[in-house]
Amino acid sequence: MSGQILLETRGMSKTFGGLKAVDDVSLQLREGIVTTLVGPNGAGKTTLFNLITGHLEPDAGEVLWLGQSIKGMPHWKIAQAGIGRTFQDLKLFDQMTVLENVLTVTERGSWFWQGGGTAARAERLAQAEAALAAVGLADHRHTRALDLAYAERKFLSIARILSSGARLWLLDEPASGLDRSSYERFLGLLREQVGKGITICIIEHNLDIVQGISDRIAFLDQGRLLAEGDPKSILNDPALAAIYFGERA
Ligand SMILES: Nc1ncnc2c1ncn2[C@@H]1O[C@H](COP(=O)(O)OP(=O)(O)O)[C@@H](O)[C@H]1O
Ligand SMILES: [Mg+2]
């Protein structure tokens, strides 16, 4: 397998009440590789993202980014280190325009007294505009996020992660509910970014998309990493298929 390990979890665990949401998960994400997290609803996929990004604290385990522990770091610091994410519910600023939604990302790290003046501001604007052009939202730059169509909101969340400059993208069901032409455009966009060196871990249910994008698949069920490997071996495993389609004995 090529690519250095960018991010690694070791023995990651999180319990809510008596429920083991994430149970001893050790996973490696390698540079330039698309790893897809699959598994039934409630398997712990989103919780695993939250543990990696500092939105939740693990009960046990380690998270290493470029070989260094990032456990316990605040989520904004982890984002600044180069780990970007999207949320299942997108978390857009509904009352802001499309462009403003992207600018909140590019301006996040810049204190007002370090604004860098006109040149730096122009550069951040150019970065935001480039991200909007890449996802096909340039013509909507002054539309309020609230007034976007469903698929456009999804693409806006991608523009935000794109303009963040993150090296690793954690995408939580970014294609759910997209019609076929939208998700094909979305897949093209992801492939283009992977071609530019972006590393992706994506939570996805649509098996067409899973097959279309994955270099590796990690299969979670009831908090445990049941299997991890190349797409063919995972997708052709009848025991995993039974779990995935809810035919567990
Ligand atoms: N903040 C929370 N408090 C209590 N239970 C939670 C919380 N977040 C997730 N869970 C539970 O943990 C399990 C895993 O959830 P989640 O990670 O969202 O699964 P997935 O993303 O795979 O559908 C589910 O049973 C869910 O109800
Ligand atoms: Mg989820």
202 Cα–ligand 2 center, Å = 11
Percent of the chain with pLDDT over 70: 94
Residue 103 CB contacts under 8 Å (≥ 6 apart), including other chains:
124, 125, 128
Higher pLDDT residue, 141 or 1?
141
Looking at this protein, which amino acid is placed at residue 78?
I
87 Cα–ligand 1 center, Å = 14
Residue 152 CB neighbours (<10 A): 17
83: pLDDT strictly greater than 80: yes
| Interstrand relation of 34-38 and 216-221 (parallel, antiparallel or unpaired) | parallel
Instruction: Tell me how far apart the alpha carbons of residues 28 and 63 are, in angstroms, rounded to a whole number.
Output: 10
Instruction: Tell me how far apart the alpha carbons of residues 109 and 37 are, in angstroms, rounded to a whole number.
Output: 30
68: pLDDT strictly greater than 90: yes
174 Cα–ligand 2 center, Å = 11
Looking at this protein, which amino acid is placed at residue 222?
Q
SS (H, E, C) 39-75: CCCCCCHHHHHHHHHCCCCCCEEEEEECCEECCCCCH
Mutate to test the pocket of ligand 1, among 13, 16, 45 (most ligand atoms within 8 A of CB): 16
Residue 184 CB contacts under 8 Å (≥ 6 apart), including other chains:
none
Pocket lined around ligand 1, Cβ cut-off 6 Å: 16, 19, 21, 39, 41-47
Name the band, by pLDDT with cuts 50, 70 and 90, for residue 249. very low
Total number of residues shown for the chain:
249
Average pLDDT value for residue range 2-31: 96
177 Cα–ligand 2 center, Å = 14
Hey, what domains does the chain have and what are their CATH numbers? 1-82+168-183+201-249 (3.40.50.300)
Residue 146 CB contacts under 8 Å (≥ 6 apart), including other chains:
94, 95
Using CA of residue 91, residue 95, residue 100, residue 106, what is the dihedral sign?
negative
Question: Which tens digits make up the pLDDT trace of 18-48?
Answer: 999 999 999 999 999 999 999 999 999 999 9
Residue-averaged pLDDT of the chain: 92
Name the band, by pLDDT with cuts 50, 70 and 90, for residue 108. low
Question: Which tens digits make up the pLDDT trace of 156-215?
Answer: 999 999 999 999 999 999 999 999 999 999 999 999 999 999 999 999 998 888 998 999
**Residue 46 to residues 50, 198, 204, 234: CA-CA distances in angstroms?**
6, 20, 11, 20
Pick the ligand that lies closest to the CA of residue 86.
2
Ligand 1 atom at minimal distance to the Cα of residue 47: 17
Q: What residues flank ion ligand 2 with Cβ within 5 A?
A: 46
Pick the ligand that lies closest to the CA of residue 223.
1
Average pLDDT value for residue range 126-149: 97
Find tokens 């096909």 and name the residue: 136
